[in-house]
Chain A
Amino acid sequence: MIFDQNTMLILTIIALAILIIQLYMEYRRKPKQAKYIPKELVKCRKCGYEIERDYEPGDFISLVKGKCPKCGGELIVKAIYSVKLEERKA
């Protein structure tokens, strides 16, 4: 069980390299959590005009949200959902 200095140095370097590789792989394995933002899909009851907007707190599905810019009909919240922030930027 006698090692010379060079062998000890090489063993230490190998151990450190293994440790660094393992830490890097562990870091890469962790899935990055995507950010989501809430949106609402507003639809005209009369002409079917649709537009996706930012969600306003307190809104709910079927809530009347003003007049349609195209035909003046009632705009209602058809859906509320969250979308990935990256997708929106793209």
Chain B
Amino acid sequence: MATDWVSLATQLIWILLFILIFTGANQKIQMRLWSYDIRNKLSVIKSYLDRDRTRVEKQLKNLGVKSPDILIKRAMDFFIIQPVDIEPTDIIKRLEHLIITGDRSFKKMVEQAIPTATKYERSLVETGLSIVGVLNQIYKIVRHYLLSGEKENNWILLMQLEMAMPQIMRIVETYHKSLDAFLTGTPIGDSIGPLVAHRLIELGKIVSKKVVEDTSITELWLDDRRIYVIKAEGPGSNVGRPGRVLYDLVEQLKGGVDLVVTIDAALKLEGEETGEIAEGIGAAIGDPGPEKIAIERATTKYGIPLKALVIKMDLGEAIHTMKKEIYEAGEKALEHVRRIILESTKPKSTIIVAGIGNTLGVPG
């Protein structure tokens, strides 16, 4: 008797499975599961966003802003429209113009809200607001695809989103954790380029120093050579305009430069060691284009050798407080740069060294 019941149950299960497969209901169940999982992850993103927003709000209140909501709302939804790329003529100029205008407008917006704050404090607020803006953008995009997928019963869209969620969550967590460094002012992994440049300045005999467009140019004598060190002006959160400044400097020197070396943090591939140093040719800079092309154009115009030194790290390490391994790699990179200079140039040569990256916590 019992065997009959088991047999009946088994038959029923099979019939049910066939019905599910033929009517496509199995996909609907799968879709519900994906949708449920994405919703859970979306609520995690929302909680990060709310927490980070509250922290920036507190920071603004400490700086004397009575209603920080207005500034946060404006900054969170701030955007830059990419230039037309089906007509590539002068696209770099247009892109550069948009980036500069965007940057200035954003800075002006913050300055108007906290006029009494120092440049250093303002730079930390600006980056804090940018991080909240990034999280808000990711939150809205994920929510958009989730709701669209549910509305249109588009299980392919939901499946793609579900598959991409681990990567999205990793990026979200990276940005969320990076706020600690930007609120306290500790150097981040990306500050390694400016840090090496700063160490080089400390070693040499300073001849002159000036600041152009948030970027410092220090002329010094070291190892019987004239070295111009370019880096973003610190110690605030700032990347400066090293490409444009380098271009203008090469023009001022009428091309009389024997070597250009760029030092930057580079994203490592999975499996590579953090703090690994690699030497190569080209401009080590990860901007959207205008800064990199300025370095390439300046060196190409006068036939100046362009060398690059990179210190490897992952995205999290690049925007979180600098790890000790990265700091130690920076010390090695300093020796490496001096070796490149000694090997590639003769005494009395003129060299430009550019420390690329965010100079948070690194002065000069």
Interface residue ranges, A against B (CB under 8 Å)? 1-5, 8, 36, 38-39, 55, 57-63, 79-83
Q: Evaluate contact between B6 and A3: CB separation under 8 angstroms.
A: yes
Chain A residues in 8 Å Cβ range of B185: 57-60
Q: Evaluate contact between A60 and B10: CB separation under 8 angstroms.
A: no
Chain A residues in 8 Å Cβ range of B198: 61-62
Q: Which residue of B lies closest to A79 (CB)?
A: B327
Chain A residues in 8 Å Cβ range of B7: 1-3
Q: Which residue of B lies closest to A4 (CB)?
A: B3
Chain B residues in 8 Å Cβ range of A4: 3, 6
- A62 to B202 alpha-carbon distance, docked (Å): 10
Chain B residues in 8 Å Cβ range of A60: 185, 187, 234-235, 361-363
- A62 to B10 alpha-carbon distance, docked (Å): 76
- A3 to B11 alpha-carbon distance, docked (Å): 11
- A39 to B184 alpha-carbon distance, docked (Å): 12
Chain A residues in 8 Å Cβ range of B235: 60-61
Q: Which residue of A lies closest to B195 (CB)?
A: A61
Which one of B7, B185, B320 has the highest number of Cβ atoms from chain A below 10 Å of its Cβ? Answer: B185
- Contact among A38, A62, A79 with B184 in the assembled complex (CB-CB below 8 Å): A38
Q: How far is the CB of B5 from chain A (nearest CB, A)?
A: 9
- Contact among B6, B184, B327, B362 with A81 in the assembled complex (CB-CB below 8 Å): B327
B326 at the interface (CB under 8 A from A): yes
Interface size of B by CB at 8 A reads 28
Which residues of B341-364 have CB atoms within 8 Å of chain A's CB atoms? 361-364
B2 at the interface (CB under 8 A from A): yes
For chains A and B in complex, what number of residue pairs have CB atoms within 8 angstroms?
73
Given A38-B186, A57-B184, A61-B187, A81 contacting B3 (CB threshold 8 A): no
- Contact among B11, B14, B187, B202 with A80 in the assembled complex (CB-CB below 8 Å): B187
B169 at the interface (CB under 8 A from A): no
- A57 to B321 alpha-carbon distance, docked (Å): 12
B244 at the interface (CB under 8 A from A): no
- A53 to B11 alpha-carbon distance, docked (Å): 71
Chain B residues in 8 Å Cβ range of A59: 185, 361
Given A62-B198, A62-B363, A82-B322, A2 contacting B3 (CB threshold 8 A): yes
Q: How far is the CB of B164 from chain A (nearest CB, A)?
A: 18
| Interface bits B294-334 vs A (CB < 8 Å: 1, else 0) | 00000000000000000000000000111110110000000
| Interface bits B1-18 vs A (CB < 8 Å: 1, else 0) | 011001100110010000
Q: Evaluate contact between B362 and A58: CB separation under 8 angstroms.
A: no
- A63 to B364 alpha-carbon distance, docked (Å): 11
- A31 to B183 alpha-carbon distance, docked (Å): 27
Chain B residues in 8 Å Cβ range of A61: 187, 195, 198, 235, 361-363
- A57 to B62 alpha-carbon distance, docked (Å): 14
Q: How far is the CB of A68 from chain B (nearest CB, A)?
A: 18
- A39 to B187 alpha-carbon distance, docked (Å): 11
Which residues of B1-60 have CB atoms within 8 Å of chain A's CB atoms? 2-3, 6-7, 10-11, 14
Chain B residues in 8 Å Cβ range of A38: 184, 186, 321
Given A4-B3, A5-B6, A58-B185, A82 contacting B321 (CB threshold 8 A): yes
Q: Evaluate contact between B326 and A3: CB separation under 8 angstroms.
A: no
Q: Evaluate contact between B195 and A1: CB separation under 8 angstroms.
A: no
